[in-house]
C-alpha cells in the first residue's frame, strides 16, 4: 500500500462548536514546524449545534482538513472508526475535539513511532477530570483491563494515541472498544509502548459522558477477553474451571457418601449435600458458559464488516 500522507489526525466531534476554531488553530500550530505531511480528519458524529457549518468552513479554507458527517449520533468509537477507515496516513493519531489532549504532543508520539513502535498510547499522568465519577472508575477499569488483557498500560482510555496504519487494518471497532486497540494489536505482534502526555480541562462545553460509560467499558472488556482468548478458545478457559469445579463436586460427593455409609451421618439438611449439588451444577454452568463464549466469539468474527456508522456527506475526500 502506498501512503499519501505521513500522518492522519482523527478527531471525533459531537457538539463542539466553541472548540472547533481553537482545535484547527492549535493543530496547525503544532504541526507547522514538525516537518510532516498531514491530514486532519474531523468526524461530525451527528452534532445538533453549529459544529458542521464550522467544519465545512474550515475545510473550504484548508485542503488538509477532511470532514465526514454522520447521519446521526453513532458515538465516539464509531466516529473514530470512520476516521481510521478514511485515513491515508502512514501513522494515524486520534485525539479529542475539546482540546483536553494537546496537539503539541503529537510530534513526541511520532518520534516514538520512529523508534520502531507500532502503537504509542498516551498516558494522562496528570489527568484533569473529576475524581469520583471519572478518575476513580478509570483507575479500577485500567487495573482490570491490565490484568485481563495482559497488555500493561496505565491509561487505556486516553484518546491520544499513535498507530502505524497496518495495526488498524482489520481491527473492527464498536461500543467503547477504541481503548482496547493496543491489546488487540499486541495480540497480533504489534510493539506497544506508552508515553506521558499533557491533559487539560475541557476548553468549552461539558463532557458527553458520565458514570454509565464505565459500565459499558466493563461489558466491552468481557468481549475483548473473549476475543483475546479466542486463540486459546473460551471453551478451554471456562472448561478448565468447569472441570475443576466438577472434580471438587465429585470429591465432596464421595466424602458425603463415606460419611453416610461408614460414619452413619444423617444426610437430612446436611450442608455437604448442598455443597456437592452446588459444585456439580456450578461446573456444568461453567462449561455451558464456555460453549456460549465459543459461539459469541465465532459470531463476532463472522459479523465483521457490518457497518457501525452511516455517512451523510464527506468534504475534501475523494469519493465524497
Ligand atoms: N464524542 C463523539 N460522540 C459522542 C460523544 C463524544 O464524537 O457521542 C466526542 C467529543 O466531541 C469529544 C470526544 O468524543 O471530541 C470525547 O468526548 P468528551 O470530551 O465528552 O469525553 P471525556 O473527555 O469527558 O471523556
Ligand atoms: Mg473531553
State the ipTM, two decimals.
Answer: 0.98
| pLDDT attached to residue 305 | 61
Residue 219's CB is within 10 A of a number of other CB atoms, namely 12
Q: Predicted confidence band at 301 (pLDDT cuts at 50, 70, 90)?
A: low
| pLDDT attached to residue 298 | 65
Confidence check: pLDDT of 246 > 70:
yes
Q: Between 16 and 287, name the one with better pLDDT.
A: 16
Residue 15, sorted as left (phi over 0), alpha (psi -120 to 50) or beta, turns out to be left
Q: Which atom of ligand 1 is nearest to the CA of 75?
A: 8
Q: Residue of the nearest CA to atom 8 in ligand 1?
A: 75
- pLDDT 10s digits, 26-37: 999 999 988 899
Beta carbons of 10 and 94 less than 8 angstroms apart? yes
Among candidates 162, 230, 159, which has minimal Cα distance to 192? Answer: 162
Regarding the beta carbon of 256 and ligand 1, being less than 6 Å apart is answered no
Residue 166, all three cell numbers: 497496518
Q: Predicted confidence band at 234 (pLDDT cuts at 50, 70, 90)?
A: low
Cα–Cα dist 179/176, whole Å = 7
Q: Between 161 and 308, name the one with better pLDDT.
A: 161
Residue with cell 488498524: 168
Regarding the beta carbon of 142 and ligand 1, being less than 6 Å apart is answered no
Q: Which atom of ligand 1 is nearest to the CA of 80?
A: 7
Among candidates 57, 3, 64, which has minimal Cα distance to 30? Answer: 64
Q: Between 178 and 234, name the one with better pLDDT.
A: 178
Q: For a pocket test of ligand 1, which of 11, 12, 176, 210 has the largest count of ligand atoms closer than 8 A to its C-beta?
A: 12
Among candidates 147, 140, 134, 105, which has minimal Cα distance to 122? Answer: 105
| pLDDT attached to residue 291 | 80
Confidence check: pLDDT of 304 > 90:
no
| pLDDT attached to residue 180 | 87
Beta carbons of 315 and 43 less than 8 angstroms apart? no
Confidence check: pLDDT of 208 > 70:
yes
HSE (side-chain half, CA atoms, 13 Å) at 27? 30
Confidence check: pLDDT of 200 > 60:
yes
Q: What is the DSSP letter of 131?
A: I
Residue with cell 495480540: 187
Regarding the beta carbon of 174 and ligand 1, being less than 6 Å apart is answered no
- Mean pLDDT throughout 172-180? 75
Q: For a pocket test of ligand 1, which of 23, 48, 74, 76 has the largest count of ligand atoms closer than 8 A to its C-beta?
A: 76
Q: Residue of the nearest CA to atom 13 in ligand 1?
A: 96
Q: Which atom of ligand 1 is nearest to the CA of 11?
A: 15
Angle, CA of 208, 213 and 214, to the nearest 5°: 140
Q: Residue of the nearest CA to atom 24 in ligand 1?
A: 207
pTM (two decimals):
0.79
Regarding the beta carbon of 97 and ligand 1, being less than 6 Å apart is answered yes
- Mean pLDDT throughout 286-307? 73
Q: What is the mean pLDDT of the chain?
A: 88
Among candidates 141, 169, 170, 13, which has minimal Cα distance to 80? Answer: 13
Regarding the beta carbon of 156 and ligand 1, being less than 6 Å apart is answered no
Regarding the beta carbon of 45 and ligand 1, being less than 6 Å apart is answered yes
Q: Give the SS3 label for residue 257.
A: helix
- pLDDT 10s digits, 54-78: 999 999 999 999 999 999 999 999 9
| pLDDT attached to residue 174 | 65
Residue 4, all three cell numbers: 499519501
Above pLDDT 70, what percent of the chain?
Answer: 91
Q: Residue of the nearest CA to atom 16 in ligand 1?
A: 96
Regarding the beta carbon of 79 and ligand 1, being less than 6 Å apart is answered yes
Confidence check: pLDDT of 231 > 60:
no
Cα–Cα dist 159/178, whole Å = 8
Q: Predicted confidence band at 213 (pLDDT cuts at 50, 70, 90)?
A: confident
Regarding the beta carbon of 58 and ligand 1, being less than 6 Å apart is answered no
Q: Give the SS3 label for residue 18.
A: coil
Cα–Cα dist 230/236, whole Å = 9
Alpha helices, DSSP H, located in the chain: 20-32, 51-61, 76-86, 106-114, 136-149, 165-168, 181-187, 212-228, 234-262, 271-302
Which residues have their alpha-adjacent CB atom under 5 A from ion ligand 2?
A: 96, 98, 100, 202
| pLDDT attached to residue 150 | 87
- Mean pLDDT throughout 196-222? 84
Regarding the beta carbon of 13 and ligand 1, being less than 6 Å apart is answered yes
| pLDDT attached to residue 33 | 85
Confidence check: pLDDT of 140 > 80:
yes
Q: Give the SS3 label for residue 125.
A: coil
- pLDDT 10s digits, 92-134: 999 999 999 999 999 999 999 999 999 999 999 999 998 988 8
Beta carbons of 117 and 193 less than 8 angstroms apart? yes
- Mean pLDDT throughout 222-234? 66
Amino acid at each position: 500500500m502506498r501512503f499519501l500522507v505521513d500522518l492522519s489526525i482523527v478527531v471525533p466531534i459531537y457538539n463542539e462548536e466553541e472548540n472547533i476554531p481553537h482545535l484547527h488553530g492549535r493543530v496547525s500550530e503544532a504541526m507547522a514546524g514538525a516537518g510532516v505531511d498531514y491530514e486532519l480528519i474531523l468526524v461530525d458524529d451527528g452534532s445538533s449545534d453549529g459544529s458542521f457549518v464550522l467544519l465545512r468552513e474550515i475545510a473550504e479554507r484548508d485542503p488538509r482538513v477532511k470532514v465526514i458527517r454522520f447521519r446521526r449520533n453513532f458515538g465516539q468509537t464509531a466516529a473514530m472508526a470512520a476516521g481510521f477507515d478514511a485515513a491515508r496516513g502512514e501513522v494515524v493519531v486520534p485525539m479529542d475535539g475539546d482540546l483536553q489532549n494537546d496537539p503539541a504532543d503529537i510530534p513526541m508520539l511520532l518520534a516514538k513511532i520512529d523508534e520502531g513502535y507500532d502503537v504509542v498510547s498516551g498516558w494522562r499522568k496528570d489527568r484533569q477530570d473529576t475524581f469520583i465519577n471519572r478518575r476513580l472508575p478509570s483507575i479500577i477499569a485500567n487495573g482490570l483491563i491490565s490484568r485481563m488483557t495482559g497488555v500493561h498500560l496505565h491509561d487505556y482510555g486516553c484518546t491520544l494515541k499513535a498507530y502505524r496504519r497496518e495495526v488498524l487494518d482489520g481491527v473492527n471497532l464498536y461500543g467503547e472498544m477504541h481503548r482496547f486497540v493496543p491489546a488487540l494489536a499486541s495480540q497480533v505482534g504489534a510493539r506497544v509502548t506508552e508515553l506521558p502526555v499533557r491533559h487539560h480541562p475541557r476548553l468549552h462545553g461539558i463532557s458527553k459522558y458520565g458514570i454509565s460509560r464505565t459500565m459499558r467499558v466493563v461489558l466491552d472488556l468481557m468481549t475483548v477477553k473473549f476475543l483475546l482468548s479466542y486463540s486459546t478458545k473460551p471453551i478451554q478457559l471456562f472448561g478448565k474451571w468447569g472441570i475443576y469445579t466438577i472434580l471438587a463436586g465429585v470429591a465432596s460427593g464421595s466424602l458425603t457418601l463415606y460419611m453416610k455409609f461408614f460414619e452413619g451421618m444423617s444426610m437430612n439438611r446436611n450442608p455437604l449435600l448442598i455443597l456437592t449439588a452446588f459444585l456439580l451444577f456450578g461446573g456444568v454452568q461453567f462449561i455451558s458458559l464456555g460453549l456460549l463464549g465459543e459461539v459469541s466469539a465465532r459470531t463476532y468474527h463472522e459479523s465483521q464488516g457490518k457497518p457501525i456508522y452511516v455517512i451523510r456527506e464527506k468534504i475534501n475526500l475523494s469519493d465524497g
